[in-house]
Amino acid sequence: MKMNGAQLFVKALKEEGVDTLFAYPGGTAIDMFDALYGVEGIDVVLPRHEQALVHEADGYARSTGKVGVCLVTSGPGATNLVTGIATANYDSVPLVCFTGQVPTYLIGNDAFQEVDIVGIVRSICKYAVTVRDRKDLGRIIKEAFYIARTGKPGPVLVDIPKDIQLEMGSDEYPSTVSIRGYKPSEGVHVGQVRRAMAMLGKAKHPVFLIGGGVNISHAQKELQELAERTGVPVITTIMGKGAIATNHPLYIGNIGIHGNYASNKAISECDVLFSIGTRFNDRITGKISEFAKKAKIIHVDIDSASISRNIVVDIPIVADAKTAIQTMLENITKPEIGDWVKEILEWKAAYPIQMENYKGMTPEKIIRKINELFPSSIVVTDVGQNQLWTTQYLELDQNRQLLTSGGLGTMGYGFPAAIGAKLGNPDKDVICISGDGGMQMNIQEMATAVALELPVIICVLNNGYLGNVRQWQEMFLDGRYSSTCLKYRRRCGRDCADPDKCCPPYTPDYVKLAESYDAKGIRVTKLEGIEAAFQEARSNQAGPTLIEFIIEREANVLPIVPGGKALSDMIMDC
Amino acid sequence: MKKRWICLFVENQIGVLTKIAGLFSSKAYNIDSITVGETEDQTISRMTIGLTSDDQTFEQVKKQLNRSVEVIKVVDYTEIPTHMKEILFVKISSCNREDKEEIFRIANVFGCTVTDYDKNTVLLECTQTEGKNNDIIRLLQSCFPNRIEVVRGGNVAIEAVSRKDNS
């Protein structure tokens, strides 16, 4: 049978099991939307901005493990995807983004809404391609899904010119894939695993350093068994948090520039650092030459290019985290580590992460209340202090998951990603934790959440500042708050005369803003109001609830390792 | 830092050269030279890439190339016996009779061909190693300052058939 390209596109989505499509129409995508009209089994979601659209697909993908699928038009529709694609790329999130394109005979003519989107995204995605021949369409879509979800997952972009969408051709959608330049690594080198386990077996002060790769490969159960059978303490990166329950006796905490004292100290003191699924990003290592100086380093990663790039490794293992851990369990060794865990736990007890220096309603109190009230939930953060506090205080286990833009650090990610997560997990509580800065970057998605009747709870931690940058200005730039005050109005003058004494009222009024979208808005100013607000939000199942928490204006995220310093140089207090 | 050579097999498609070049520039690796051409299989292009780097960077370059979907095979030509040649054209202008005689002698000694000439101008074609072409350019520059025009084709390389060591 013959069908046109747009119909084959829809058939491909069905064959790939796509149940949710994040899509914004336009001139060169209109035929694909027409083919989608009335199709059963695919929920076509209309966001209010294409950047939010990708984050929604991203949140959906991270929380379900499925591929997030996007459809937008050419030109501005396509360029609005860029930030979201880069966000997904850094955090290894499987996405397939379809972009409409001007007809092939107009490509290169500077036609209306023509951009070379493949050229633009080339360095920020796993693969991007323009379909130039109708007969290649099915194969290319098949390959796109395969590339996105296998190996180290990532975003793939498929650009489909309008004439290809309309051209009649075969209705065949291939069932197999063979790409000669793409063979994701399968299995693991058992000899390397044995060498690594032998090295671990001789260690006196070993630690596991766990990155996002363990969460992506769903190896949480295996990791817990590995930790318990070896007795080796577990430290995570931000992306690795939740790979083992945060209340597990062997879990120490996060490392990195906002990691806890015990974790950073343990990394600095360990003799074998067994890392799985992390790329040793600079936010994790601090000053490279001082990182884990006493340790032999074992590194498991699915991406060979991540190995010995930032940190020179003694034993490299290229493998999927789950496969590697399963093989480790088959070759288990148990090192004699004496009081090592006890020692680390003493550091942890002596220098806990806390915000006791601040009075009243601190982010710590808000997040601990979420721990208490929402045991089965997906918590999605934006970027900045709201994110760092969440990664410090949120407790995770197999029932509570954290989504955050760890690699790219994209403000505006949180709220749309929460919408995507809720669409993929209607039975879970989905809570977005944002700041007052990032919330404004995709605030228009309130309309999407209201339209879809999604009971997402949005916590805006409002301190009236771009708080993370402000904190750096306070600590490292003599308090020169350059462009970070969100209460600023021109009448304040160039220099802030008296912070927080005679400030103009904050804009927008988040409660009224939520109400204008037909959502519920609640403002909380006191510690005692936190629980009631969450209960009220939870009882509102008709749509989103925004809770604005007015928090201390100049609260800081501590500890902190200043830029360029070693992990051991962390500042505990200021 | 050391001179390295990579032989790269890629999909013969629009945008693949940009992808490879972009990969080098986005990671701040420097390409010394790059040549591209179709192979006996029309769907595959072959590149010969020369770069100068330390060991660690070179390892990264190879890994980054390998992880690109469009790259079919990466072969390190740095340490293995290869045949490697570069085509070079040099045009020397404002030549008198003596100049021409000197150019012909140089061509003879260096194994270049006089491809074309007219009353005042001579065109030399040299298919040599990159190093030898450098020598020829240097010599012609010193003999005929400001009168030469140079175009270089970049290196192409193929694995040796009989030689087993890289001498």
- pLDDT (tens digit, 9 = 90+) per residue, B116-149? 999 999 999 999 999 999 999 999 999 999 999 9
Answer whether B69 sits within 8 Å of A147, measured CB to CB. yes
pLDDT at B97 (0 to 100): 94
Q: Which structural domain range is residue B96 located in?
A: 83-159
Residue B167 belongs to a domain: no
Residue B26 belongs to a domain: yes
Q: Which residues of B touch A123 (CB under 8 A)?
A: 22-23, 26
Mean pLDDT of A212-218: 96
* B19 and chain A in contact, CB less than 8 A: yes
Radius of gyration of chain A (CA): 24
pLDDT at A499 (0 to 100): 66
Interatomic CA distance for residues A189 and A290, integer angstroms: 30
Interatomic CA distance for residues B55 and B78, integer angstroms: 12
Q: Cα-flanking dihedrals φ and ψ of residue A545, to 5°?
A: -125, 125
Q: What's the CATH number where B65 sits?
A: 3.30.70.260
- Which tokens hold the place of A495? 């220099």
**Residues B70, B93 within the same domain:** no
User: What are A496-548's pLDDT values in tens digits?
Assistant: 766 667 788 999 999 999 999 999 999 999 999 999 999 999 999 999 999 99
- Which tokens hold the place of B8? 């790269």
**Residues A368, A346 within the same domain:** no
User: What are B57-104's pLDDT values in tens digits?
Assistant: 999 999 999 999 999 999 999 999 999 999 999 999 999 999 999 999
State the amino acid at position A255 in one-letter form.
Answer: I
Per-chain mean pLDDT for chain A: 96
**Residues B88, B23 within the same domain:** no
Distance from CA of A305 to the nearest CA of B (A): 5
User: What are B19-57's pLDDT values in tens digits?
Assistant: 999 999 988 888 999 999 999 999 999 999 999 999 999
Answer whether B56 sits within 8 Å of A308, measured CB to CB. yes
pLDDT at A495 (0 to 100): 72
Interatomic CA distance for residues A387 and A380, integer angstroms: 9
- Which tokens hold the place of A13? 């989505």
**Residues A163, A265 within the same domain:** no
Distance from CA of A185 to the nearest CA of B (A): 11
Q: Which residues of B touch A122 (CB under 8 A)?
A: 15, 18-19, 22
pLDDT at A435 (0 to 100): 98
With tokens 């077996």, the residue in question is A201
Domain count, chain B: 2
Residue A290 belongs to a domain: yes
Distance from CA of A124 to the nearest CA of B (A): 10
Answer whether A181 sits within 8 Å of B59, measured CB to CB. no
Interatomic CA distance for residues A295 and A273, integer angstroms: 6
Residue B30 belongs to a domain: yes
- Which tokens hold the place of A479? 């308090």
Mean pLDDT of A285-293: 92
**Residues B130, B93 within the same domain:** yes
With tokens 């149940």, the residue in question is A19
**Residues A415, A308 within the same domain:** no
Q: How far is CA A421 from CA A24, A192, A371, A446, A537, in A?
A: 19, 38, 18, 15, 17
Mean pLDDT of A146-167: 98
Q: What's the CATH number where A146 sits?
A: 3.40.50.970
**Residues B20, B64 within the same domain:** yes
Q: How far is CA B88 from CA A286, A341, B120, B127, in A?
A: 49, 67, 20, 6
Q: Which structural domain range is residue A166 located in?
A: 2-170
The answer, yes or no, to whether residue A341 has pLDDT greater than 80, is: yes
Tally A–B CB contacts below 8 A. 39
Interatomic CA distance for residues A430 and A565, integer angstroms: 36
Nearest by CB to A181, which of B15, B63, B69? B69
What is the share, in percent, of chain A residues with pLDDT greater than 90? 92
**Residues B88, B75 within the same domain:** no
Cβ–Cβ < 8 Å for B85, B156 = yes
- Poorest-pLDDT segment among A234-243, A281-290, B6-15: A281-290
Q: Which residues of A touch B63 (CB under 8 A)?
A: 304-305
Domain count, chain A: 3
Q: In the listed set B80, B107, B135, which residue is the last one of a domain according to the structure?
A: B80
Residue B166 belongs to a domain: no
Residue B126 belongs to a domain: yes
